[in-house]
Structure 1
Amino acid sequence: MTPDIVRDLHPPRLPADFVSLGWPDLLAAFGVGLILAGLALIVLQPALRPRRRPLRLNDRIAAAARLPDDARLIALSALLADRGQPLPDDLRHALYAGTPYDPARAEALLRKPREAAHV
């Protein structure tokens, strides 16, 4: 192509109806916006989910107190293990042999500070 022919070419033009903004265009843009908002919600949903706070020690001890004796001993033993405290011999014997035990002693061990519990 010679430069004269290129210079004489008219720029491409779109029809006037295609260039003007009408209600179908606005409706399509609104629909695309809703779809994008839905996708963003799906992606962000795990971050927006409320998180449960872990129960405090006193709440866990109170929940164990409402259990039957055998289940209470197991729950208190699990709490001691979660805190890294060793299970005393009398509670260990009650856990495995089914002998009577004092739940107040296990609760007192749980309520001690962690440093003092290992001594």
Structure 2
Amino acid sequence: MFRITKEFHFSASHQLCRLPPDHQCARLHGHNYVVVVELAAAELNAFGFVRDYHELSPLKRYIDDNLDHRHLNVVFGHDAITAEWLAKHFFDWCKARIPETVAVRVSETPKTWAEYRP
């Protein structure tokens, strides 16, 4: 199996409203998110790629236009936008457009990662 990844970055705020009020993540705060999309294929295409990295440009546009420097609770109309939730969201978004998508990882801090892989 051939595997490739591409990394995307954005900054946004969120608030985990379901947590107790004294929990630090219940307060409005922000992150410099890192999103890593993983694609896989058993065979390479005619150009020798799993997929041309340029074909992931729509994800960058989606992130830049809709998520970067936004409040994610408002964008998604949801009160529990976690890294895990975002990983699933990005996976679903990518899988609908890029069939080779096999996993998405999301980082909120340099030391933490969440992954969605069906």
Provide TM-score, normalisation by structure 1: 0.22
| Richer in helix (by share) | 1
| Richer in strand (by share) | 2
Provide TM-score, normalisation by structure 2: 0.23
